[in-house]
Chain A
Amino acid sequence: MQYTATNVLSFPVKAEGPKKGKHLVLLEESEEAEWLYALANGEIHTMDFLVEKWQGSLYRFFYRSLGNHADAQDLTQKTFIRTFKAASRYRPTAKFSSWLFTIARNLLIDEIKRKQKSQTLEFQEEINCMDLESSVEHSSIDEWKEILQLVLSEMPESQRSALLLRVQKEWSYLEIANLMGVSESVVKTWIHRARQKLKTKLEVLKKKGEI
């Protein structure tokens, strides 16, 4: 059966009885399907519901990926705009969050590429200085977080995104693999490597007594 926003809406939101697989997924997130369907039909105010529910998740994903509020804010807004534009094309054959974070990740990759192109030597030096300053004996409550953020920012995007989706969104390896278009084992490797890098840094900080 081909699911569309219309026939998903015909399901009761909280149906009785056991539901498995795709049915359960659809019912869990039919709220978003309903909002997108309404949005596609001109009910713009439903965007507010989407923003209220997903802004925080997207923002934290972007913030940890890029390490600053301005980029996180900008990309969160862009994700919603793209969601807005694509509302009429949405078919709830997969989880809404998978669809949303596919958009988010595409935007993130574009942003990273754009930054890499425009990144000047000066900017790189600035980062190196920040790293040095952070490693020296300055003490602040969140210093360890700043240092970890630098380690996270230097990771390949695939490792970082996989780790963030696993920890922040608590997605399964399979869900992450589907989103990223790779096998589960690759995702496991990425997450393991990413965690190891961060843990190694944390151990150093712990020995220094900075956490």
Chain B
Amino acid sequence: MRDSLDEKLDEFLKADDIQAKGSLTASVLNEARKQSRVNTKSKYYLWPTTLAAAACLLFLLFNEQPIQPLSPSESVVLSSTLNLDHEEKVLLEDIMFFSHDFGEPIFLLDDQTLDLFAMLQSIPE
């Protein structure tokens, strides 16, 4: 049995008082259709591009040459500070100061270590 509430409900559901907003025309829709086609195409282009970029990255990562460690002769200054005169010591301090600024590694070895190093080098292989 339909009553007044059913009628009220149908009035609400039919929404005859609701007016469509926005003006849709064939030309507007045609433009939007073209645009959506471009967007859809760009989706299809995105995947291969992403895959290609990922492949390049992987290639670079696995083909990267390992960094060659510097040989001791390039990186280590062997010197006994005890045998240096005053001028040489000042010069060495200057070198250390500047080399620190430029990031060059310099290691100073004391006499005992230097002797040990010399002894090891003198042992025939």
Using a CB–CB cutoff of 8 Å, the interface residues on chain A facing chain B are 44-48, 51, 55-56, 59-60, 63-64, 69, 72-73, 76-77, 80-81, 84-85, 144-145, 148, 163-164, 167-168, 195, 198-199, 202-203, 206, 211
Q: Does B86 contact A (CB under 8 A)?
A: no
Using a CB–CB cutoff of 8 Å, the interface residues on chain B facing chain A are 5-6, 8-10, 12-16, 18, 20-22, 24-27, 29-30, 32-33, 36
In the complex, the answer to whether A51 meets B12 with C-beta atoms within 8 Å is no
In the complex, the answer to whether B6 meets A199 with C-beta atoms within 8 Å is yes
**Once the chains are docked, how many angstroms separate the CA of A63 from the CA of B15?**
9
B21: contacting residue among A64, A73, A148, CB under 8 A: A73
List 4 extra interface pairs beyond A46-B26, A47-B25, A144-B12, CB under 8 A: A64-B18, A73-B21, A80-B29, A206-B5
* Nearest A residue to B36, CB-CB: A81
**Once the chains are docked, how many angstroms separate the CA of A100 from the CA of B17?**
22
Give the chain A neighbours of B6 by CB distance below 8 A.
195, 199
In the complex, the answer to whether B21 meets A202 with C-beta atoms within 8 Å is no
**Once the chains are docked, how many angstroms separate the CA of A19 from the CA of B14?**
30
In the complex, the answer to whether A77 meets B24 with C-beta atoms within 8 Å is yes
Give the chain B neighbours of A144 by CB distance below 8 A.
12
In the complex, the answer to whether A168 meets B33 with C-beta atoms within 8 Å is no
Given contacts A77-B32, A167-B13, A195-B9, contact A69 B25 (CB under 8 A): no
A168: contacting residue among B5, B9, B15, B22, CB under 8 A: B15
> From DSSP, what is the main secondary structure of chain B's interface residues?
helix
Min distance, Cβ A152 to any Cβ of chain B, angstroms: 8
**Once the chains are docked, how many angstroms separate the CA of A60 from the CA of B29?**
19
Give the chain B neighbours of A206 by CB distance below 8 A.
5
**Once the chains are docked, how many angstroms separate the CA of A56 from the CA of B20?**
6
In the complex, the answer to whether B18 meets A199 with C-beta atoms within 8 Å is no
Min distance, Cβ B37 to any Cβ of chain A, angstroms: 8
A47: contacting residue among B5, B13, B29, CB under 8 A: B29
* Nearest B residue to A39, CB-CB: B26
**Once the chains are docked, how many angstroms separate the CA of A163 from the CA of B10?**
10
* Nearest A residue to B3, CB-CB: A199
* Nearest A residue to B22, CB-CB: A73
Give the chain A neighbours of B27 by CB distance below 8 A.
44
Given contacts A55-B20, A203-B5, contact A81 B33 (CB under 8 A): yes
**Once the chains are docked, how many angstroms separate the CA of A199 from the CA of B15?**
16
Min distance, Cβ A36 to any Cβ of chain B, angstroms: 13
Give the chain A neighbours of B30 by CB distance below 8 A.
44, 47, 84
Give the chain A neighbours of B26 by CB distance below 8 A.
44-48, 51
Give the chain A neighbours of B32 by CB distance below 8 A.
77, 81
Give the chain B neighbours of A202 by CB distance below 8 A.
5, 8-9
Given contacts A48-B26, A81-B36, A163-B13, contact A76 B20 (CB under 8 A): yes
In the complex, the answer to whether B29 meets A51 with C-beta atoms within 8 Å is yes
In the complex, the answer to whether B8 meets A167 with C-beta atoms within 8 Å is no
Give the chain B neighbours of A81 by CB distance below 8 A.
29, 32-33, 36
